[in-house]
């Protein structure tokens, strides 16, 4: 049996309504790369204690389903990675419209052998003025400090194991913290992380279109994000719904 070159890990909590829209974009990108390259990939949806038909929906669409009963996106990503067979890992959120050339671009970057991993930038398109200002603030912070969100991150299996995966004791910014460790590893190995800036992934606007502006600002401003990183109670409004 041919082992997959790349494993796509998608954490999912109560995503029954969203998977039919977004998972096919990932599967189509995988199929496009497989057809051209002659190599294989696997798509793993990690059902993170959902109480809807997330697992059944993912399986019907063609993904392999893994169950992770401990709630938390760090737990879910790590569980997926633990069962992944590919030498390259790519982590994609469940509500992401993924570009057709995404898998091809990721594998091409990794095959070059001069990077430990990287990210595809996310393109958010909020309509509310306050939310647009908030995203503008975060773009400025990332431009200064570097980093990348977990909307789409990728790395070699060796790099993932070396840095120890995602921290499961964080309920916010676990993706940014992981990428910071990956970045430091890349510098040490002289294989720096890369950003595939010619591509964009488009996350669902569901949170910043359904939540009020003040709620978005309260939960996602830089100060709050740092003060309550490990408070499951504080982030219950973030986790105890379909979004996470």
Query: Which residues, including other chains, have CB under 8 Å from residue 220's CB and lie 6 or more apart?
Result: 134, 138
pLDDT at 236: 66
Q: Which two tokens stand for residue 58?
A: 């993912």
Mean pLDDT of 106-132: 85
Question: Does residue 141 surpass a pLDDT of 60?
Answer: no
Distance CA 199, CA 94 (A): 18
Alpha helical stretches, state H, 38-96: 54-61, 73-83
Lowest average pLDDT, out of 56-60, 86-90, 214-218, goes to 214-218
Output the domain CATH number for residue 116: 3.90.550.10
Per-residue model confidence as pLDDT tens digits over 173-224: 789 899 999 999 999 999 999 999 999 999 887 766 676 766 766 666 666 7
pLDDT at 146: 60
**Position with higher pLDDT, 240 vs 181:** 181
pLDDT bracket for residue 54 (50, 70, 90):
very high
pLDDT at 55: 97
Question: Does residue 134 surpass a pLDDT of 70?
Answer: no
Q: How many domains does the chain have?
A: 1
167 in a domain, yes or no? Answer: yes
183 in a domain, yes or no? Answer: yes
Instruction: State whether residue 130 is helix, strand or coil.
Output: helix
Distance CA 228, CA 239 (A): 14
Cβ atoms of 26 and 8 closer than 8 Å? yes
Query: Which residues, including other chains, have CB under 8 Å from residue 186's CB and lie 6 or more apart?
Result: 115, 116, 117, 159, 192, 193
Q: Which domain holds residue 13?
A: 6-125+147-204
239 in a domain, yes or no? Answer: no
pLDDT bracket for residue 163 (50, 70, 90):
very high
174 in a domain, yes or no? Answer: yes
Nearest-CA neighbor of 219 among 204, 233, 238, 232? 238
In sequence order, the β-bridge partners of residue 64 are 44
51 in a domain, yes or no? Answer: yes
Q: What is the dihedral sign for C-alpha 207, 210, 211, 216? A: positive
Mean pLDDT of 96-100: 96
96 in a domain, yes or no? Answer: yes
pLDDT at 169: 85
Question: Does residue 82 surpass a pLDDT of 90?
Answer: yes
Question: Does residue 77 surpass a pLDDT of 80?
Answer: yes
First and final CA of the chain: distance in angstroms?
Answer: 35
88 in a domain, yes or no? Answer: yes
142 in a domain, yes or no? Answer: no
């Amino acid at each position: 049996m041919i082992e997959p070159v790349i494993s796509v890990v998608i954490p999912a909590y109560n995503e029954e309504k969203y998977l039919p829209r977004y998972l096919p974009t990932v599967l189509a990108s995988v199929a496009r790369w497989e057809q051209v390259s002659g190599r294989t990939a696997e798509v793993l949806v990690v059902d993170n204690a959902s109480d809807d038909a997330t697992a059944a929906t993912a399986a019907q669409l063609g993904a392999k389903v893994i169950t992770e009963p401990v709630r938390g996106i760090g737990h879910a990503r790590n569980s997926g990675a633990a069962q992944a067979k590919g030498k390259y890992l790519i982590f994609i959120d469940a509500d992401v419209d993924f570009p057709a050339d995404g898998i091809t671009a990721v594998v091409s970057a990794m095959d070059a052998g001069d990077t430990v991993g990287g990210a595809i930038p996310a393109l958010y398109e909020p309509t509310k003025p306050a939310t647009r200002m908030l995203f503008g603030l975060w773009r400025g912070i990332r431009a200064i400090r570097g980093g990348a969100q977990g909307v789409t991150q990728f790395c070699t299996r060796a790099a993932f194991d070396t840095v120890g995966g995602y921290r499961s004791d964080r309920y916010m910014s676990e993706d940014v913290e992981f990428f910071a460790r990956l970045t430091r590893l890349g510098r040490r190995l002289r294989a720096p992380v890369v950003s595939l800036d010619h591509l964009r992934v488009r996350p669902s606007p569901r949170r910043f279109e359904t939540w009020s502006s003040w709620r978005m600002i309260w939960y996602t401003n830089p100060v709050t994000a740092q003060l309550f990183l490990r408070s499951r109670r504080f982030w219950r409004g973030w986790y105890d719904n379909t979004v996470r």
